[in-house]
Structure 1
Amino acid sequence: MNIGTLPLTQAEAVAVDEPRVVPDTMPGYKAMWMGVCLEYIEFTMFFVVYFVARWFYPQEFQQGAAKLWTLGGVLITLVMVTSGYMLTRGLACMRLGQRRKALGWFVAAMLLGAMYPVLKWQEWQWNHAHGVDAAAGIFVAVYYYVTIAHSIHACWGLMSMGWGASCLALGGYSTEDFRGLESVATYWHATDLAWLMLFALFYAFA
């Protein structure tokens, strides 16, 4: 008898007919990734404004970086990158089942990230004291236009950190399902990457 013609048992038939389930390896919720895509579409428009303005006013953009508080930009970069690293450590602890350590990392990331609006406010005060306002030229006008928009996104990220840490402290996430925390980290990393591009365009290579 040909083996290929043997009838299948009921269990084998179910196994053949049942579609293969592929686990979702994307961290966080898909809705957050959609939000990140929309955020980058927004910043793409900002970058278009930047490069168009730079095309028409190259001299002002070449001299613009010297007008800004470079130390403030460096400190903000360190805050953004370091707090993002802390969120990554928190997620790693969750995967290892270490909820208490994960909470500590998330709280530390939130506290360090809270230095962002403080530094940004100090930067704006420094700008005001040195005459760096919208009347100082097209470079400064574009700088405020783009960086204030980024500040709004960063504040949203800080609020999401606070929400995630609070839910974790109250037992809202398990070590098997913590997609909410992954979504928080995803948004902050996206905002962090946007800042690195802004730092390069306005502070470092303008």
Structure 2
Amino acid sequence: MKTPPINRSLGIFPKSWSEESAGRIPGNIPIWVGILSELTEFALFFVAYFIAKFYYPDIFSQGPQNLHTSLGVTNTVVLLTSSYFMAKAMSFIRINDKIKCERYLWLAFSCGCIYLIIKTWEFHWNTLQGFSANTNEFFTVYYYMTFNHFIHVGWASCALLWVIFRLRSGAYSAQENSGLEALAVYWHMIDLMWILIFPLVYVLR
């Protein structure tokens, strides 16, 4: 099959990947159904947060001061970095560079593990300070929101191992990478949720 000629005088060039994908929703329908359901779940947490804050303003003003803020900041940087690595992985699979794609997937996975380790230590540190989900209304909301997010990061990190395995088995290429793209979209959603959670529980007084 011959490639159609390019009429440069008329400004007609072959479409690039970005042109072909313009207006296309990334991922697939199942992942967006999952994302929308989980966004609804987090939205309910946020509503509960603001209702509780309205009724217990003093407790919610004092609450963030009892947290290990530096650990929250560190995890924010870790997750933002993981999103960068995931974006790089997608950019390399789209040019069929599977070696670099896998390298960045491992880096994103490492960030997920670092987040989980730091968060586990933070929960332990809270316990040492005598704080738990039953301490007061602030810590009840804090644990519901952050532990739920913790579970999502853990699940997505396991999914990263699965897509790395599939990448090695030849399941993804420049022409077919919808599964990898779906996970990338989900990963970015998790990072976005943390960007919303962080100021609410660590910063807002």
TM-score range, shorter chain: 0.7 to 0.9
Separation in 2 of the partners of 1:119 and 1:31?
31
Other-structure match for 1:178: 177
Other-structure match for 1:192: 191
Structure 2 letter corresponding to 1:201: L
Separation in 2 of the partners of 1:71 and 1:25?
39
Q: Percent identity at matched positions?
A: 36
Separation in 2 of the partners of 1:104 and 1:149?
28
Other-structure match for 1:89: 88
C-alpha deviations, 1:106-142, integer Å up to 9, x for none? 1111112111111111001110111121232110111
Q: Secondary structure at 1:134's aligned position in 2?
A: coil
Is 1:79 equivalent to 2:78 in the alignment?
Answer: yes
Other-structure match for 1:5: none
Matching of residues 36-115 of structure 1 within 5 Å: 36-115=35-114
TM-score between both structures, scaled by the size of structure 2: 0.86
Separation in 2 of the partners of 1:67 and 1:154?
24
Q: Secondary structure at 2:196's aligned position in 1?
A: helix
Contact in 2 for aligned 1:86/1:108 (Cα 8 Å): yes
Structure 2 letter corresponding to 1:132: F
Other-structure match for 1:13: none
Contact in 2 for aligned 1:81/1:192 (Cα 8 Å): yes
Separation in 2 of the partners of 1:51 and 1:134?
17
Is 1:117 equivalent to 2:116 in the alignment?
Answer: yes
Contact in 1 for aligned 2:90/2:101 (Cα 8 Å): yes
TM-score between both structures, scaled by the size of structure 1: 0.86
Structure 2 letter corresponding to 1:96: I
Structure 1 letter corresponding to 2:134: A
Other-structure match for 2:5: none
Contact in 2 for aligned 1:99/1:175 (Cα 8 Å): no
Other-structure match for 2:8: none
What is the RMSD of the two structures over their aligned residues, measured on CA atoms? 1.4
The 4+ residue runs of structure 1 with deviation greater than 3 A are none
C-alpha deviations, 1:119-174, integer Å up to 9, x for none? 11100111011112123211011101111111111111111111111111121112
Q: Secondary structure at 1:156's aligned position in 2?
A: helix
Task: Give ranges in structure 2 of 5+ residues lacking alignment.
Answer: 1-19
Task: Give ranges in structure 1 of 5+ residues lacking alignment.
Answer: 1-21
Other-structure match for 1:149: 148
C-alpha deviations, 1:36-92, integer Å up to 9, x for none? 111100001111111110010001101110011101111111111111110000100
Separation in 2 of the partners of 1:52 and 1:150?
20
Other-structure match for 1:203: 202
Separation in 2 of the partners of 1:31 and 1:71?
36
Larger Rg: 1
Other-structure match for 2:9: none
